[in-house]
Structure 1
Amino acid sequence: MIVVGGEALVDLVPAKSTLDGEPGALLPRLGGGPYNVAVTAGRLGVPVSFLSRVSRDDFGDALVARLEVSNVDTTYLQRGPEPTTLAVTNLGPDGGARYTFYAEGTADRLFEAPEELPEDMTMLSLGTLSLVLEPGASAYEQVMRRANVLTVLDPNVRPVLIADPDAYRARFASWLPDVGLLKLSEEDAAWIAQQDGLDAARQWQQQGPAAVVLTRGSNGIAVIAGSGELVEVPATEAQVVDTIGAGDTVHGALLAWLYTKGVQSVGQLRELDADAWREALRFAGAAAAITVSRAGAEPPFAAELGPII
């Protein structure tokens, strides 16, 4: 089983303004990076469980219901009376998203590491706000250190929530020995490393991860494979409504592809050749192309995408 740990939240996405100078109504969309990853993997037909803390408010109930209809196991989901984290989304002309977060005292920040991890866990996925906002961040980090499985990390950086960038960068570096697959956007890589994202990926691949996947928006997806070879695929053509959840869909689709292909260890990941990586990246890109053609993070079901080839 794949276990995805991290926050679930509600994106408030603006509708088109109806009056000059007045903002449009804010439409709630269920999301959160790790939440979207779990939903993607579940919809693509692989066994996945979501490890988080979710509010008992109406938004929290809706988040849980969507997990269940997306075939995501909720056995390890914690619930609490605290409110759901809100992210107000601002969309640029190209459909790109920027966020303002309301996360003080919310449920996902109070996640506690379980005493025991699932016995059938074969992969662990972590990232985004869950590894930034305390006290939950330390609890998720504890899970990362304890898990003796293939661990996939997407930092999905939100600089507005990082009070001390240098401390965050040092903490990120401390995670790398425990990470089997590092997945991040080229922009996030450049922000963390303060240099070219591709150069940074090559350096990180020598510090623990068997492979580093870089999403590049309209320029496609690339990976520094276990051999050190750069493998690239172009972006799948899509009619973009917005890019909310695109990177999370890539992440979840990669988890599904790896699980289906029986890649469940760092050693197996390191041995994937260029042809296998092209297949994996094309599959993930095709899934993301469907997501960006819809409003909000709405990953495809397996029937919409076809089988994992």
Structure 2
Amino acid sequence: MIVSGGEALVDLVPAESTVDLLAPRLGGGPYNVALAAARLGVPTAFLSRVSTDRFGDALVERLRASNVDISLLQRGPEPTTLAVVALDEHSSARYSFYTEGTADRLVTDPGPLPDETTALSLGTLGMVLEPGVSAYEAVLRRESERGVLTALDPNIRADMIADGAAYRTRFESWLPYVRLLKLSMDDAEWLAGGADVTDAAKGWLDAGVEAVVLTNGGDGLSVLTTDGEVASAPTVSVEVADTIGAGDTVQGALLAWLAEQDVRRVADLEPADWSQALGYAARAAAVTVSRNGAEPPTTEELARFS
């Protein structure tokens, strides 16, 4: 079973070219990862704290509808986090977050994850906002030490990080416990802090990461290991509605592919394996960007798309 941990929130997306009408879309990076993996047929659970407000109820119902296990879900009366989305001329999304006193940042450590857990994925605001980040850190360290395949997608929201240097130092403290690091090129450049991304990735690999997957918009996906760049996959050409949830779909699809192949150590993958995994993730992300909001494909939808 894959466990995805982090925030669940509501994106307020422009329904038109002005802010006169904002349409709520259920999302949050780790939430979307859980949806993506579960819709691709892999047992998946979501670890978070979700509000008991109307938005929270809708978030939970959508998890159920996508066959996501909610046994690790915590509920509370605090409000749901909101993200106001602005789309640029390329349909790429920018976010403004409203997180003060919201439910997801108050998640607590649930203790050891279920025995059937084979992979743990964390990221985005869940690894930024206290006190939740400390809870997720504890889970990351404990599950890594017992052999769970650990994955991290920092999904940097720079406006939410008060001290960039402190965050980079904390990020580096996670790396000995992370086996799969997935980053957009923009995130990698931000984390590198002005250094060359390839050199920075070598440092992340030396710290304990087994594979660094980089997404680079229209230039596709690539993976770096201690052997260098061992595989890549092009972006699948589609008419883009928006890019909301694209990177989350990549993460969920990668984890689903690894689970289907019963891969417990990404260090064991050959270049040909990586080519298949990246191609699978690229196709899944293409379906997501072809429709509005974060709507990862089901197995059947992905098969028709292929």
Q: CA deviation at 1:121?
A: 0.8
When the two chains are superposed, the root-mean-square deviation of aligned CA atoms in Å is: 1.3
Deviation at 1:23, TM superposition (A): 2.6
Assess if the C-alpha contact under 8 Å between 1:225 and 1:273 holds in 2.
no
Task: Measure how far apart 1:119 and its partner are.
Answer: 1.6
How far is the alpha carbon of 1:228 from its aligned partner?
Answer: 3.2
Query: Hey, what does 1:294 align to over in structure 2?
Result: 291
Give the secondary-structure state (helix, strand or coil) at the position aligned to 1:23: coil
Alignment correspondent of 2:118: 122
How far 1:178 moved relative to its partner?
0.1
Return the match for 1:283 from 276, 280, 285: 280
Q: Which residue of 1 aligns with 2:241?
A: 241
- 1:26 pairs with 2:45: no
Q: Does 1:54 align with 2:50?
A: yes
**TM-score scaled by length of structure 1:** 0.95
Contact 2:181 2:209 in 1 (8 A): yes
Check conservation: 1:187, 1:197, Cα contact below 8 A: no
Maintained 8 Å contact 1:86/1:102: yes
Q: Give the match for residue 12 of structure 1.
A: 12
Q: Does 1:63 align with 2:59?
A: yes
Mapped to 1, the partners of 2:66 and 2:202 lie a distance apart of: 35
Counterpart AA for 2:26: L
Count, aligned residues: 301
TM-score by length of 2: 0.96
SS at match of 1:64: helix
The one-character-per-residue Cα deviations of 1:21-69 (angstroms, maximum 9, x if unpaired) are x533010000000000000000000000001000000100000011011
Identify the range of structure 1 (89-98 vs 224-233) with the bigger mean alpha-carbon deviation. Answer: 224-233
Q: Do 1:225 and 1:231's aligned partners in 2 also have CA atoms closer than 8 Å? A: no
Query: Which is further off, 42-51 or 231-240?
Result: 231-240
State the identity %: 61
**2:89 equivalent to 1:90:** no
**What 5-or-longer segments of structure 1 have no aligned partner?**
none
Which residue of structure 2 lines up, in the alignment, with residue 303 of structure 1?
300
AA aligned to 2:113 is: L
Residue correspondence of structure 1 range 88-167 to structure 2 within 5 A: 88-147=84-143, 148=146, 149-167=148-166
CA distance in 2, matches of 1:184, 1:174: 17
Partner residue in 2 for 1:38: 34
Deviation at 1:71, TM superposition (A): 1.1
2:214 is aligned with 1:214? yes
**CA–CA distance in 1 between the matches of 2:20 and 2:283?**
31
SS state at 1:66 partner = helix
CA contact (8 A) 1:225 1:272 kept: no
Give the Å deviation of 1:207. Answer: 1.3
For the residue of structure 2 that corresponds to 1:288, the secondary structure is: helix
